[in-house]
């Protein structure tokens, strides 16, 4: 029984909020890879792969995110290490997966061309996944919902500027429930997390909505080990 | 570059709150193992070891906790997976450590006989540790402090029954700062987390303090993946 009998993989749960719902409402989507070999051949699985000896865990997660989506994450954070004994149908194969979750910007996600093996699927509507990846996605959604009220994660789904309606729709997509627009507007403005850019969204409406940007001077960094804040590309 | 070039270890940061401070106040202690080989020979390190193929991550953590202290944890939770490239002075050695943190009961901790290689050290007073274990202990303390206000973790440091003063001392030991006794008593009683046992602590005082127990009907379980609550032995 040596350490070499247990393999180490790094996987990523990558979320984007796209306006594909009724009336253009935002919904969460995630990229998955269709497995081409057993076990679970033909089922969708989380992007990822073995950890290379020359990269740290976060770099490995960012690398598979880039390989899968062509993008850099807006938010990247370690979720959990999954190391149960019954994760694979193949008893001889023992893999511990260190899972990261990430968010990417909707304006970048909409430009994706799906690879033959990679597809974007709606988070609310997933088919059964390979291994224990259903549990992993559920846990990532739970973490995302818990973090939304006290961290900057919602902003990482949006572009540089956004309307308050767009911000509310990201919250609604994550929480899976509608929010009162007037209350949300009031809380968002009172939070100091958004700054009025002084410009409005172009369009044919009589009174186009104001555009805001994220107030990056706020300390909304998450608990992470010293020297290791969640990777953010803003 | 194969997965076998990266080794996987499971380590544990184990806390006990012992009445060793001024006036018998509680302080946090943790068991450490003195390394007998390079690198970092002679320095203290966290208990742990390689993950066995026949055990899951939590079982591995509980096993090294038991090997080191002879005890079962009152609270056991995954902390973080540390996988940076510069963790070891030996560049050929690449180890990813999945770290669990745990609490054990003071009444059990005080019965320990120190092994030649294992000693209990005061958390507030640690010497430089092997590898990046200083960072790991700091992060575990941070997590413990963050969790104390909304979870049952403080109770896992105490026996089946305790006084409110003892409970307050555990909070003070964890937070590293004194708390107003009257306010603490009021909040603890209002929280519903403690139940009066109807008995008092025996002693020669005129009016011995009441004994309480933890209200285990409360849902104070922490966020953990479905089916995997932090291991608790109550």
Minimal-distance CA residue of chain B relative to A98: B81
Predicted local confidence at residue B86, as pLDDT: 76
Please determine, for residue B172, whether its predicted confidence score (pLDDT) is greater than 80: yes
- Using pLDDT thresholds of 50, 70 and 90, give the confidence band for residue B43: very high
- Find the mean pLDDT for residues B1-26: 80
CA distance B62 to chain A (A): 14
Please determine, for residue B226, whether its predicted confidence score (pLDDT) is greater than 70: no
Average pLDDT in chain B: 83
Interface of B with A (CB under 8 A): 1-9, 50-57, 78, 80-85, 94, 96, 98, 135-136, 138-139, 142-143, 146, 223, 225-227
Please determine, for residue B115, whether its predicted confidence score (pLDDT) is greater than 70: no
Q: Which span out of A175-179, B122-126, B200-204 was modeled with the highest average pLDDT?
A: B122-126
Minimal-distance CA residue of chain A relative to B136: A225
Would you call A83 and B51 a contact, using CB atoms and an 8 Å cutoff?
Answer: yes
Predicted local confidence at residue A222, as pLDDT: 44
Closest CB to A3: pick one of B8, B136, B142. Answer: B8
Would you call B54 and A1 a contact, using CB atoms and an 8 Å cutoff?
Answer: yes
Kindly report the length of chain B. 234
The low-confidence residues of chain A, meaning pLDDT below 70, are 1-4, 89-92, 106, 109-116, 149-151, 204, 218-234
Nearest to A84 by CA among B34, B214, B142, B227: B227
Q: Which span out of A114-128, B119-133, B216-230 was modeled with the highest average pLDDT?
A: B119-133
Predicted local confidence at residue A111, as pLDDT: 52
- Rounded Cα distance between A157 and A168, Å, is 12
- Using pLDDT thresholds of 50, 70 and 90, give the confidence band for residue B197: very high
Which 3 state secondary structure label does DSSP give A3? helix
Give pLDDT tens digits for A8-30. 999 999 998 888 888 877 889 99
Would you call A83 and B6 a contact, using CB atoms and an 8 Å cutoff?
Answer: no
- Find the mean pLDDT for residues B12-18: 90
Which 3 state secondary structure label does DSSP give A224? coil
Residues of chain B above pLDDT 90, percent: 43
Minimal-distance CA residue of chain B relative to A60: B83
Q: Residue B35 corresponds to which tokens in the numbers above?
A: 């390394």
- Rounded Cα distance between B63 and B72, Å, is 9
Closest CB to A51: pick one of B3, B138, B223. Answer: B3
Q: Which helix (H) or strand (E) holds B140?
A: helix B133-147
Closest CB to B7: pick one of A3, A135, A146. Answer: A3
- Find the mean pLDDT for residues B186-213: 89
- Using pLDDT thresholds of 50, 70 and 90, give the confidence band for residue B92: low
- Find the mean pLDDT for residues B195-220: 84
- Rounded Cα distance between A214 and A26, Å, is 19
Interface of A with B (CB under 8 A): 1-9, 50-57, 78, 80-85, 94, 96, 98, 135-136, 138-139, 142-143, 146, 223, 225-227
Contact A215, A192 (CB under 8 A): yes
Please determine, for residue B103, whether its predicted confidence score (pLDDT) is greater than 90: no
Predicted local confidence at residue B219, as pLDDT: 53
CA distance B83 to chain A (A): 5
Please determine, for residue B3, whether its predicted confidence score (pLDDT) is greater than 50: no
pTM above 0.95, yes or no: no
Chain-centre distance for alpha carbon A60: 16
Give pLDDT tens digits for B47-80. 999 998 889 999 999 999 998 888 888 789 999 9
Q: Residue A189 corresponds to which tokens in the numbers above?
A: 């403005």
* Domain boundaries defined on chain B: 6-222
In the A/B pair of chains, how many CB contacts fall below 8 A?
A: 94
Q: Residue A152 corresponds to which tokens in the numbers above?
A: 């900057």
Residue pointed to by tokens 């302080």: B27
CATH 3.40.50.10190 fits B6-222, yes or no: no
Contact A193, A218 (CB under 8 A): yes
Predicted local confidence at residue A103, as pLDDT: 87
> Across chain A, how many H-helices and E-strands are there?
5, 10
Residue pointed to by tokens 């020359």: A54
Would you call A142 and B223 a contact, using CB atoms and an 8 Å cutoff?
Answer: yes
Instruction: Residue A146: list chain B partners with CB under 8 A.
Output: 223
Closest CB to B223: pick one of A78, A146, A225. Answer: A146
Predicted local confidence at residue A27, as pLDDT: 86
Predicted local confidence at residue A152, as pLDDT: 77
Instruction: Residue A83: list chain B partners with CB under 8 A.
Output: 51, 56-57, 98
Nearest to B103 by CA among B138, B50, B141, B131: B141
Give pLDDT tens digits for A49-83. 999 888 999 999 999 999 888 888 878 999 999 99
Predicted local confidence at residue B112, as pLDDT: 56
Predicted local confidence at residue B74, as pLDDT: 79
Residue pointed to by tokens 């509608």: A178
Instruction: Residue B138: list chain A partners with CB under 8 A.
Output: 225-226
Give φ, ψ of A42 to 5 degrees. Answer: 90, -10
Closest CB to A7: pick one of B3, B55, B94. Answer: B3
Residue A107 or residue B119, greater confidence: B119
- Rounded Cα distance between B87 and B92, Å, is 11
Predicted local confidence at residue B220, as pLDDT: 47
- Rounded Cα distance between B37 and A77, Å, is 34
- Rounded Cα distance between B231 and A66, Å, is 36
Predicted local confidence at residue B148, as pLDDT: 76
| Preceding omega of B39 cis (within 30 degrees of 0) | yes
């Amino acid at each position: 029984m040596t350490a070499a009998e247990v393999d180490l993989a790094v996987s990523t749960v990558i979320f984007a909020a796209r306006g594909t719902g009724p009336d253009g409402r935002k919904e969460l989507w995630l990229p998955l890879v269709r497995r081409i070999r057993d076990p679970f051949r033909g089922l969708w699985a989380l992007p990822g792969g073995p950890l290379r000896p020359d990269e740290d865990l976060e770099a490995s997660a960012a690398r598979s995110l880039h390989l899968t989506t062509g993008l850099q994450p807006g938010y990247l954070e370690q979720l959990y290490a999954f190391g149960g004994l019954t994760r694979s149908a193949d008893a001889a194969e023992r893999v511990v997966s260190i899972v990261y979750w990430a968010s990417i910007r909707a304006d970048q996600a909409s430009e994706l061309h799906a690879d033959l093996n990679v597809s974007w699927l709606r988070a609310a509507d997933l088919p059964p996944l390979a291994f224990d990846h259903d549990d992993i996605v559920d846990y990532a959604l739970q973490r995302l919902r818990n973090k939304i009220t006290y961290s900057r994660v919602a902003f990482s789904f949006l572009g540089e500027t956004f309307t308050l309606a767009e911000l509310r729709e990201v919250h609604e997509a994550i929480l899976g429930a509608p929010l009162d627009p007037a209350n949300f507007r009031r809380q968002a403005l009172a939070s100091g997390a958004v700054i009025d850019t002084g410009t409005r969204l172009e369009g044919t409406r009589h009174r186009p909505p104001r555009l805001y940007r994220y107030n990056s001077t706020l300390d909304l960094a998450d608990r992470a080990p010293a020297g290791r804040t969640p990777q953010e590309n803003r």
